[in-house]
């Protein structure tokens, strides 16, 4: 019986069709020309040509976060692949499912310092969930399938496949899909242990001061409805990490907001005074715990996570369940008793009322917090928000409440400046009917501002709100509070003129300098439907983000406002 053969590029796209891929973000080069040549005859795939490979990686990440699908990006060998690394690391730290296809020099040239050769698998090994260098052409179809399977299974993450040009352009053996083989190669998380689930339910039923702490794993697994059922049935208040935002409605009466360095005061008080922490899909990041020895000193911990490596890594649980969060909660909720409101919940609500977020709106000066609040009001809380990194990110997290998952996209673990705008492009392509707004700082936005070209060519009405304080704001804040205001290397001096830059890209640019003009500018921005729009808001230059728990400190040392 004759075995079917095809080119490597054709095999790649046949697997893409199997996987339901519809969008590819990429940037071509010499070693991926065979792939792009095959793509020419594939109208079923939408290719988004970004202006930089890092933009392609972040756009893929944003697409994956917004849709829940595995995102796909492509780049050429050498510098092209290297430019993906920051985006891969961003996705890896935040557990985002992506498949990156990179070109490589011909197999006979590998290891000889050939033109545009780089050890892509060696470089990306620490920042991918798995990676491959395809040396045997007949393995290609199965390798691509396996890459998708690994990217989405268990704790998600990015997977890279490095394809030599003679593999993509040469003849390969076509193999049929074998689901059993994929599961054997990389098994999904185990089913929840019934004894552990029962033990967790017992602790919840007996707890006097329980708090439910959720992270990005709730969103990745689609467990948000079960989180709500658990919270409402057991009358447990909910706090979230930065990446858990939207996993429980922030307007719900049981929501106690975000915890951690710039979390809500009442959320931090809740978790630090709890007798039981039910942690679902979160990893006790240092930005949440601060000084671990002083973190929630009186609390027992239940930890539910798909990744066994996270269990006990930072905080040691009394009960742990290694399983998909949704499957674990599906089994846990029926075992939890229906509870009335307790004195503890009343105390938490009292803290929420007595420790709200605060800021001062000075005459003639725009408070950045006000801009986010007004954006929230005008969009009815319904926009899909991406952020850059820094003060803008924290103000967005504090003041734009999210009631649904996949609504707030931000670089949490790596804290990647330049993430938000290309992520917004990916999110808008994946969710074309949603209003997508990137809340940015004047430092971060410039790191991938060239993607304005990508957004304009594709007629994407992505909105950018720049909280422009003429500084690298978060670094300046630390220099203000801990280095005697010795502002070193942080002044951006007010350049560029973002409205004129938008005009250069045939887009809409609006400049705001007065508080009374904020509403009109945001309303005009929301009306733009055929191209990007930048609203450049000149905000208070030395405004700091509060609340603030200094790095390595505890909740007891939380700063609710400016010292003195």
Q: Give the angle 420-157-242 at the CA atoms, nearest 5°.
A: 45
* This model's pTM is above 0.85: yes
Q: For position 260, what pLDDT does the model report? A: 97
- Average pLDDT of the residues of the chain: 97
Which helix (H) or strand (E) element contains residue 563?
A: none
d(CA 540, CA 367): 6
Q: For position 158, what pLDDT does the model report? A: 98
CB 254 within 8 A of CB 235: yes
d(CA 534, CA 123): 36
Q: For position 81, what pLDDT does the model report? A: 98
Q: Which residues contact 330 (CB under 8 A, 6 or more apart)?
A: 226
Judge whether 194-354 and 368-546 match in fold. Answer: yes
Which helix (H) or strand (E) element contains residue 256?
A: strand 255-258
Q: Phi first, then psi: what are they for 388, rounded to 5°?
A: -80, -155
Cα dist from 157 to 65, 87, 104, 343, whole Å: 11, 12, 22, 41
* For range 527-556, the mean pLDDT: 97
d(CA 535, CA 468): 10
Confidence at 562, pLDDT banded by 50, 70, 90: confident
What one-character DSSP code corresponds to residue 338? P
- Give yes or no for residue 2 having a pLDDT over 80: no
Q: For position 3, what pLDDT does the model report? A: 87
User: Which ranges of 40-84 does DSSP label H, i.e. alpha helix?
Assistant: 53-67, 79-82
Confidence at 1, pLDDT banded by 50, 70, 90: low
Residue among 386, 529, 401, 503 at smallest CA distance from 445: 386
Give the start-to-end residue ranges of the domains of the chain: 5-185, 194-354, 368-546
Q: Which residues contact 186 (CB under 8 A, 6 or more apart)?
A: 146, 149, 150, 153, 154
Q: Phi first, then psi: what are they for 486, rounded to 5°?
A: -85, 85
Q: For position 341, what pLDDT does the model report? A: 85
Q: Which residues contact 509 (CB under 8 A, 6 or more apart)?
A: 498, 499, 500, 501, 502, 503, 533, 534, 536
Cα dist from 158 to 153, 412, 524, whole Å: 11, 16, 38
What one-character DSSP code corresponds to residue 559? B
What one-character DSSP code corresponds to residue 46? E
d(CA 33, CA 231): 53
d(CA 429, CA 447): 21
> At the topology level of CATH, where does 5-185 sit?
Rossmann fold (3.40.50)
Burial class (CB in 10 A: 0-12, 13-18, 19+), 235: middle
Q: For position 225, what pLDDT does the model report? A: 98
* For range 212-236, the mean pLDDT: 98
Question: Which strands sit side by side in the sheet containing 533-538, from one edge to the other?
Answer: 408-409, 384-387, 436-441, 463-468, 533-538, 508-512
CATH 3.90.1150.10, domain 194-354, yes or no: no
* For range 447-462, the mean pLDDT: 98
* For range 42-69, the mean pLDDT: 98
Q: Which residues contact 483 (CB under 8 A, 6 or more apart)?
A: none
Q: For position 319, what pLDDT does the model report? A: 98
Question: Which strands sit side by side in the sheet containing 300-305, from one edge to the other?
Answer: 255-258, 237-240, 210-214, 276-280, 300-305, 319-322
Q: Which residues contact 322 (CB under 8 A, 6 or more apart)?
A: 189, 190, 193, 305, 306, 307, 308, 311
Query: 368-546 has which CATH code?
Result: 3.40.50.970
d(CA 540, CA 364): 10
Q: For position 434, what pLDDT does the model report? A: 98
Contacts 24+ apart (CB under 8 A), 398-401: 398/258, 398/262, 398/264, 398/357, 398/369, 398/372, 398/545, 399/357, 399/369, 399/372, 399/373, 400/372, 400/375, 400/376, 400/439, 401/250, 401/251, 401/376
Burial 373-386 (b: 16+ CB within 10 A, else e): bbbbebbebebbbb
d(CA 50, CA 198): 50
Plot region of 496 (φ>0 → left; ψ -120 to 50 → alpha; else → beta)? beta
Q: For position 563, what pLDDT does the model report? A: 77
Cα dist from 87 to 58, 92, 122, 145, 362, whole Å: 5, 9, 16, 22, 39
- Give yes or no for residue 104 having a pLDDT over 90: yes
Residue among 94, 69, 79, 71 at smallest CA distance from 25: 71
Confidence at 459, pLDDT banded by 50, 70, 90: very high
Residue among 60, 47, 112 at smallest CA distance from 86: 60
336 alpha carbon, distance to own chain's centre? 31
Longest alpha-carbon distance in the chain: 83
Cα Rg, the chain, nearest whole Å? 24
pLDDT digits (tens, 9 = 90+) for 490-505: 999 989 999 999 999 9
Q: For position 388, what pLDDT does the model report? A: 98
* For range 59-66, the mean pLDDT: 98
DSSP string, 88-109: HHHHHHHT--EEEEEEE--GGG
Q: For position 455, what pLDDT does the model report? A: 98
């Amino acid at each position: 019986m004759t075995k079917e053969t095809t080119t490597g590029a054709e095999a790649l796209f046949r697997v893409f069709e199997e996987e339901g891929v519809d969008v590819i973000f990429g940037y071509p080069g010499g070693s991926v020309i065979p792939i792009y040549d095959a793509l020419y005859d594939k109208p079923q795939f939408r290719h988004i040509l970004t202006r930089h490979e890092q933009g392609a990686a972040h756009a893929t990440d944003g697409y994956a976060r917004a849709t829940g699908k595995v995102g796909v990006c492509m780049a050429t060998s050498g510098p092209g692949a290297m430019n993906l690394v920051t985006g891969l690391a961003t996705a890896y730290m935040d557990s985002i499912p992506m498949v990156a296809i990179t070109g490589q020099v011909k197999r006979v040239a590998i290891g000889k310092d050939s033109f545009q050769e780089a050890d892509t698998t060696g470089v990306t090994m620490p920042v991918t969930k798995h990676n491959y260098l395809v040396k045997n052409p007949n393995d290609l179809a199965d390798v691509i399938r396996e890459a998708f399977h690994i990217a989405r299974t268990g704790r998600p993450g990015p997977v890279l496949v490095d394809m030599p040009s003679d593999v993509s352009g040469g003849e390969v053996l076509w193999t049929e899909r074998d689901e059993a083989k994929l599961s054997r190669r990389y098994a999904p998380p185990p089913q929840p242990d019934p004894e552990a689930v029962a033990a967790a339910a017992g602790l919840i039923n007996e707890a006097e001061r329980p708090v439910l702490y959720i992270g990005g794993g709730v969103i990745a697994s689609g467990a948000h409805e079960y989180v709500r059922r658990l919270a409402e049935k057991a009358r447990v208040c909910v706090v979230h990490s930065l990446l858990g935002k939207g996993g429980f409605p922030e307007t719900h009466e049981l929501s106690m907001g975000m915890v951690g360095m710039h979390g809500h005061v009442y959320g931090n008080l809740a978790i630090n005074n709890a007798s039981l922490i039910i942690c679902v899909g979160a990893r006790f990041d240092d930005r949440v715990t601060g000084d671990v020895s002083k973190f929630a000193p009186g609390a027992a911990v239940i930890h539910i996570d798909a990744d066994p490596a996270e269990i006990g890594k930072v905080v040691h649980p009394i009960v742990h369940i290694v399983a998909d969060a949704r499957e674990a909660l599906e089994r846990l909720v029926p075992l939890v008793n229906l509870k009335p409101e307790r004195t503890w919940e009343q105390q938490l609500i009292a803290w929420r009322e007595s420790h709200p977020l605060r800021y001062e709106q000075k005459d003639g000066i725009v408070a950045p917090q006000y801009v986010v609040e007004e954006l929230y009001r005008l969009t009815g809380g319904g926009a899909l928000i991406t952020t850059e990194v820094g003060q803008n990110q924290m103000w967005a997290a504090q003041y734009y409440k999210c009631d649904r998952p996949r609504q707030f996209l931000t670089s949490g673990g790596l804290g990647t400046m330049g993430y938000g705008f290309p992520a917004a492009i990916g999110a808008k392509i994946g969710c074309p009917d949603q209003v997508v707004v990137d809340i940015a700082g004047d430092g971060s936005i410039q790191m991938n501002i060239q993607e304005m070209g990508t957004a304009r060519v594709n007629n994407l009405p992505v909105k950018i709100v720049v909280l422009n304080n003429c500084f690298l704001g978060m670094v300046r804040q630390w220099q203000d509070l801990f280095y005697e205001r010795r502002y070193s290397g942080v002044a951006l001096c007010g350049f560029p003129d973002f409205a004129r830059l938008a005009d250069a890209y045939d887009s809409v640019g609006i400049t705001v300098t007065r508080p009374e003009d904020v509403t009109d500018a945001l309303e005009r921005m929301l009306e733009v439907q055929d191209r990007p729009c930048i609203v450049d808001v000149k905000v208070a230059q030395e405004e700091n983000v509060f609340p603030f728990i200094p790095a390595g400190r505890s909740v007891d040392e939380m700063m609710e406002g400016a010292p003195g």
